[in-house]
Amino acid sequence: MWVEDLEDLHVDQEQDGEVVVREEGRVVLSRGTRPLVCFRFRRRGADGEFGSPMLALVRLRKAHGGYQPEGRLNLSWEEATELAVRLEAWKAPSDP
């Protein structure tokens, strides 16, 4: 899937007219020829309810006037929370 603008990239998915993945937010972490975008989303379970929030880190590649997803890492909310805690602990005392 190619997109011309980072704002056109979404993780929403439908199956048989029903939303199965719902995007809830997005942050562009870096731009340029290999931008990185973080999405918050939820998946619909077999019971029809949306589950806990998840994060997707998507690395893109710019070529031929557009962007193509190059890699993706999905994190559960628990994994994302643990990562945030560890990153905070790694912060040097002089960091803002």
Q: Model confidence over 60-88: pLDDT tens digits?
A: 999 888 899 999 999 999 999 999 999 99
Segments forming the whole domain that contains residue 72: 6-90
Q: With cut-offs at 50, 70 and 90, classify the pLDDT of residue 95.
A: low
Count of domains for the chain: 1
Query: What's the whole-number average pLDDT of the chain?
Result: 91
Instruction: Please check whether residue 77 lies inside any domain of the structure.
Output: yes
Cβ pair 67, 58 in contact under 8 A: no
φ and ψ at residue 30, rounded to 5 degrees: -150, 155
Structure tokens at 70: 């190059």
Separation CA 66–CA 85 (nearest Å): 35
Give CA 4 to chain center in angstroms.
18
Tokens of 78: 């628990």
Q: Is residue 96 part of a domain?
A: no
Asked whether the predicted pLDDT for residue 96 surpasses 70, the reply is: no
Stated pTM of the model: 0.84
95 assigned to some structural domain = no
